[in-house]
Amino acid sequence: LSCSGVFITAMDLFFNPFDNLVCVLLGISFTVWFTMLLVFIIVPAIFGVSFGIRRLYMKTLLKIFEVSETSKLTIHKKCLDEPTSLEEEIKEIRRSGSNKDLGSTPEFEMSDIFYFARRGVESIMDDEVTKRFSAEELESWNLLTRSNNNFQYISLRLTVLWGLGVLIRYGFLLPLRVTLAFTGVGLLVFLTSLVGLLPNGRMKGFLSEKVHLMCYRICVRALTAIITYHDSENKPKNGGICVANHTSPIDVIILASDGCYAMVGQIHGGLMGVIQRSMVKACPHVWFERSEVKDRHLVAKRLSDHVQDKSKLPILIFPEGTCINNTSVMMFKKGSFEIGATVYPVAIKYDPRFGDAFWNSSKFGMVNYLLRMMSSWAIVCSVWYLPPMSREEGEDAVQFANRVKAAIARQGGLVDLLWDGGLKRAKVKDTFKEEQQKLYSKMLVGTQEDRSRS
């Protein structure tokens, strides 16, 4: 039987040399591919070091973008007039219409309707809320926006650059990134499950921290994320709450690759549920059932109990509650500011030239979004750790939230908006409409009182 096996093997090698050659080449290719991943990406991620390859890659991309600058797409932005007060505009409308001054007729005039009609039309044309939920506008083309069926010829040079970019992004970068993503997530599930078998103590906490950092750093490399962290001395500490502006689900990976956090979120099913269950075994993350999320008091108590234990990791929260397009910060929900814990603000700002990190959840599903991220050039962002902030005496939760939001917007160069991000899927609250009605009524009452005194 042994001789028969050797004979059959020899005959296979003699009659099927091509098939064997293919197998050998595939084996060599897989070995080289895995070795490159291990040496240049996975091992550096384990030890938290970098060879500077991603920085060099980013500089090379900037040079390429400069070459394509001659055919850039210029964005014409609408110039808006300086805003004036409601009373001044009403006066102007009355003077140009009925020739009656506001002082002489403080009562309602039919022409006053034109002010509110005009402001309504202006708001529709330049809606500062709706445009926060669409892709950020670019000043020049980044060789990405034509990667679809609407390709139009502009010049031979740009066509060649775009074609090479498609080959590189989809032929090399995308397979590499998908491999790294599966490696990072697979290791996270496997290793956190192993760490979860250990008894609670310092060793378990130490291993859990190292496992989380390693896996998140591998996932960061799966996005070719180039992150610059500023003011690391202000990094969140145990027993505190880290709050940040929210652009994308990858915000979690961006922050968690530089430090460990206790995550807060709703329990999911499927693959996400598997990841959540494995993570909570190694680290005290705060997961809620769907029915529990609606109970504000229960959520507040769970968070309060967590921050009171100074041995537990800081909680990571995105108070906006939805993703905004990297241009502004919208209203912070007050829940996380009612607990009384120290708040560590963090500002995150992405560079849209290399890839749009904003997740438009109403347009793209999670898988589609991640594939778009992995087929971009890179994810480049800056992270600023701001000094810790505490609630001041006499300050309510809403005022505290607005103060923290203003600090984040100022540091990140973002627009500070009072609007609720929930308007992405909900109607405008009646309170906003009532506010304009109150301003108008106060104007009429005030004018009437001034006239009576005179």
Distances (CA, A) of 380 to 57, 59, 87, 229, 231: 11, 11, 46, 11, 18
Distances (CA, A) of 434 to 121, 126, 422: 18, 21, 19
Mean pLDDT for the chain? 76
Which residues face 347 on adjacent strands? 384
In a domain, 129, yes or no: no
Range of the domain at 408: 156-431
Same domain, 21 and 161: no
Which residue from 308, 282, 221 is spatially nearest to 257, judged by alpha carbons? 221
Structure tokens at 244: 């940040």
* Residue pLDDT, tens place only, 172-212: 888 888 888 888 888 888 998 898 888 888 888 888 888 88
Q: Residue 88 and residue 102: Cα distance in Å, rounded? A: 9
In a domain, 9, yes or no: yes
Contact 363, 208 (CB under 8 A): no
Distances (CA, A) of 108 to 20, 33, 119, 362, 454: 91, 77, 18, 42, 20
Q: For residue 145, what pLDDT is reported? A: 59
Flag whether pLDDT at 354 surpasses 70. Answer: yes
In a domain, 349, yes or no: yes
Per the structure, how many domains does the chain have? 2
Q: For residue 234, what pLDDT is reported? A: 92
In a domain, 332, yes or no: yes
Cross-sheet strand order for the sheet of 286-288: 225-230, 379-385, 343-351, 241-244, 315-317, 262-266, 286-288
Q: Provide the total of helices (H) and of strands (E) in the chain, helices listed first.
A: 16, 9
In a domain, 115, yes or no: no
Mean pLDDT throughout 226-251? 90
In a domain, 139, yes or no: no
Q: For residue 77, what pLDDT is reported? A: 40
Instruction: For 62-126, give the DSSP string.
Output: HHHHHHGGGG--PPPPPPPPPP--HHHHHHHHHHHTT---TTT--S--GGGHHHHHHHHHHHHHT
∠ Cα 92 93 94 (to 5°): 90
In a domain, 302, yes or no: yes
Q: For residue 83, what pLDDT is reported? A: 45
Q: For residue 75, what pLDDT is reported? A: 34
| Backbone φ, ψ for residue 27 (5° rounding) | -65, -45
Q: For residue 76, what pLDDT is reported? A: 37
In a domain, 178, yes or no: yes
Same domain, 205 and 343: yes
Q: How many residues does the chain have?
A: 454
